[in-house]
A = this chain, B = another copy of it.
Amino acid sequence: MKIRLKNALVLPRAGGEIFRGEVQIEDGKIVYAGKQNDRMFFPADREKDCGGNLLIPGFCNAHAHSAMTLFRGVADDLPLQEWLFDRIFPLEDHLTEEDVYWGTMLAAAEYVRGGVTAAADMYFFPAVAAEVLRRSGIAVALCSGDNDVGGGDVKESLAYMQSRYNTYKGKRRLKYIIGLHAEYTCSDALLEGVADLAATLGAPTYIHCAETLKEVGECSVRRSLTPVEYLHKIGFFDEGGIIAHGTYLDKNDIALLADKNITVASNPSSNLKLASGVAPICSLLKNGVAVALGTDGAASNNALSMFREMYLMSCLQKERMKDAAAVPAEEALRAATETGYKALGFDGGEIAVGRDADLALIDLNAPCMQPLSDIGKSLVYSADTSAVLMTVAGGHIAYENGRFDIGETPEDIYKNAAKCVKRLLKEAERGK
């Protein structure tokens, strides 16, 4: 499939210079990005006049539990413990492959409606999620969220992880990242086992870490080490990787993360809504720790909008630091694009020749984008998903002007997702 996107403004990367021109796509890759050249021969299957609107790199959602869209609106305005233990876990006990199929489909619709072209997805039935997201063209890093809080065989778990890792190894837009749910839901044997596996495979890891004060406090009391110090000590970070959240990190934690080249996937809106806190983004960036952005699951946040995350990443830091100059817009856009891509090891986050064709077309004629005094600032401080006209994921036009091409129709997705939720609620109720 050859696509020509002409008559566009192009923001090639966060903080880059906007130019007027066109982008050509072939076999899912960007083959030209530059001045418009109508004399150039490019036999496009689809030629689109972008009407002077803005092409930007697509967003990477670096921390998500996609199928949790099913639980949007079932447990809001509740204390964290009640939310998780009394509402979410009992529902998840009854999850089937079909639930994950339709929940991830609903997430795919929301992703492409909002310009998301890559995601880290940590959830049940990852093969199902992979298949669903593949149909939208979204690059997906399946992240192991294993734990043995309720028992479980460590060797079996590690063997499963290794086999998954090998299954997906070498694929261009699909990978499996070994890792665990969190320090507080895993035995030492499992945590150390994954650290060893990472060393064996030379593979980075992924884990929820330092999300709440409770987590950090309990670990510190139990181990006389923070979660980051403990994971560092057992070698969990030795091959690099990602921690999700990182809301509570002290100076030493930050130095350890920087030393091991660990990216923090920050989830500002989830951390607010669950009353967890505000991550020390300024300290992380200042000390050389890469910060990516994620939405977390739609049961905790409750939306999959990277616009909201960018706005919050920047503006919560301004308030926290009492400095309106803190985390300028381009830093937030970088976190939402190239930093996430880099952390997941995908080849996007930038509109440049040779990169994967992951991009979004932004409506400069949306009132919130006008006047065009500083488009880069408006992207972060003024826009929301209403400004997304089109999303191209891996060279596939997944969303365009209200139409979705993601493998199922919105009507079928909504109908089936509703059916799944209804059944799950009934089963969770019965299981009490």
Task: Please indicate the chain B residues that have their CB under 8 angstroms from the CB of A16 in the complex.
Answer: none
Q: A326-B275, A410-B365, A417-B370 are in contact. Are A303 and B381 (CB under 8 A)?
A: yes
A344 part of interface (Cβ distance < 8 Å): no
A153–B302 alpha-carbon span in the complex (Å): 52
A201 part of interface (Cβ distance < 8 Å): no
> Which of A6-14, A122-130, A226-234, A316-324 lies at the binding interface?
A316-324
Q: Report yes or no: A366 in contact with B113, Cβ–Cβ below 8 A.
A: yes
Give the bracket for the number of chain A residues in contact with chain B.
35 or more
Task: Please indicate the chain B residues that have their CB under 8 angstroms from the CB of A272 in the complex.
Answer: 315-316, 318-319
Copies in the complex: 2
Minimum CB–CB distance from A185 to chain B (whole Å) comes to 20
A311–B268 alpha-carbon span in the complex (Å): 13
CB-contact partner of A324 in B80, B302, B329, under 8 A: B80
Q: A301-B381, A315-B269, A319-B278 are in contact. Are A324 and B79 (CB under 8 A)?
A: yes
Q: Report yes or no: A382 in contact with B326, Cβ–Cβ below 8 A.
A: no
Provide a sorted-by-A list of 12 A–B residue pairs whose CB atoms are within 8 angstroms.
A69-B367, A69-B371, A70-B371, A79-B324, A271-B319, A272-B316, A273-B324, A275-B326, A302-B381, A303-B368, A303-B384, A308-B308
Residues of A in contact with B (beta carbons under 8 Å apart): 69-74, 76-80, 83, 106, 109-110, 113, 269, 271-278, 298, 301-305, 307-308, 311, 314-316, 318-319, 321-326, 328-329, 365-368, 370-375, 377-378, 381-386, 388, 410, 413-414, 417-418, 421
